[in-house]
Amino acid sequence: MSPLQREALKLDPVPVSKPWGGKKLLPYLLPGAESCLPLGELWLVSTVGDHCRHSRINSGVHDGLLLSDLIKASPEKILGPSWGGEDADSEFPLLFKFLDANTELSVQVHPDDAFSKCRGLGSTGKEESWIILDANPEAFVRVGFSANWDMEKLSEAATKGECVEEALNKVPVKRGDILHIPPRTVHSIGAGIVLAEIQQPSDVTFRIHDGNNVGLDGNPRELHLEMALQLDPPEQDSTDVIPVNPESQGGWQLRIAASPYQVFELKGPWEGQLDIPEDRSSILCLLSGSAESRGERLHEGSVRLLLPGKGEFHLKSASDSWAILCIPT
């Protein structure tokens, strides 16, 4: 008798145009997606915001349904008993996406759970982590205040149109680096970076400084200084780069253990059953290389939402593979 197989959903990526985006995410879409340029983000697992940004299922008996509609109809089937009770809404507990920062993003900050709930901004704040997929030789991000800077001084400089480059710590990044960004941490993504982002299901961003950037309509974008000033930085206002995981380690390695999620990473050849919880969904993404599962070839950018249950999910990765597994906690 063949073992019980864990149900896995294939989802269509949702393109999101951004003024700072580029063209590097186009290969993950069908031909004709040039109308989305400049392409800043691909939302790979999403029930956030308007329905046009919700993931649509592209496999099996649920083919064509929005993930949010399926959750609403059968919350325990998708979310598991941990989230799928009588009071469950149609929201998946994580948002997973790719970003192409062709030019530098704004200096910004995200709220935490308490602030979001108090202000009616949603049920969660926005805690996030970045996995650097590609980076120019001089690429960097800015994270946390540098010496002698705080939110009040930054806000004042932004209001006066002054240079704020020295306000945040400059952190060089390269392919394979991982950064965890707690809520209330001021940050900015520099130009020439493509990354995968796992985060809480919130799209709330408070822009503090936008440089010379303008929106897709050609007009300056709104700043949110009043809201940003109400967010105290976390007690440890710094984020270190989690070093590249040596391929020689082999097997799945826990890379991020945050309060909203865990992130495991795999590099190189491996074969076996994924060690995933039975009481919740998990997100599997092949960041590069190739792999096989159930006779299906997984390629770079392949994402599967592995549903709760007792079944197995077998994976065989090639020597050039790089994968992550994101599990809500």
Q: How confident is the model over 15-42, as pLDDT tens digits?
A: 999 999 999 999 999 887 788 999 999 9
Closest CA to 237 of 130, 125, 148, 126: 148
The model's confidence at residue 115, banded by pLDDT at 50, 70 and 90, is very high
Residue type, 253: Q
Q: What are phi and psi of 41, to 5 degrees?
A: -140, 150
CB neighbours of 92 closer than 8 A, spacing ≥ 6?
45, 46, 47, 67, 68, 71, 78, 79, 201, 281
Rounded to a whole number of angstroms, the distance between the first and last alpha carbons of the chain is: 33
Tell me the per-residue pLDDT of 152-186, one tens digit each, with 9 for 90 and over.
999 999 998 888 989 999 999 999 999 999 999 99
Query: How many Cβ atoms sit within 10 Å of the Cβ of residue 81?
Result: 12
Class of domain 8-228: mainly beta
What integer pLDDT is reported at residue 34 of this predicted model?
Answer: 83
pLDDT of residue 1: 38
Report the C-alpha gap between 23 and 33 in whole angstroms.
10
Tokens in use for 323?
């994968």
Mean pLDDT for the stretch of residues 229-255: 75
Q: Find, among 274, 304, 259, 298, the residue nearest to 129 by Cα.
A: 259
Which residues are identified as catalytic?
207
H or E element that contains 10 = strand 8-12
pLDDT at 59 over 70: yes
> How far is 135 from 175, CA to CA, in rounded Å?
6
CATH 2.60.120.10 residue window(s) in the chain: 8-228, 247-328
Rounded to two decimals, what is the model's pTM? 0.94
Neighbours of 235 (CB within 10 A): 7
Residue 247 reports pLDDT greater than 90: no
The predicted model gives 212-232 an average pLDDT of 93
Compute φ and ψ for 328, nearest 5 degrees.
Answer: -65, 145
Cα separations (Å) of 184 from 93, 235, 329? 19, 10, 20
Which of 5, 6, 10 has its CA nearest to residue 304? 10
Mean pLDDT of the chain: 92
User: What's domain 247-328's superfamily in CATH?
Assistant: Jelly Rolls (2.60.120.10)
> Higher pLDDT residue, 212 or 217?
217
What is the band of 319 on the pLDDT scale with cuts at 50, 70, 90?
very high
Statement: residue 10 has pLDDT above 80: yes
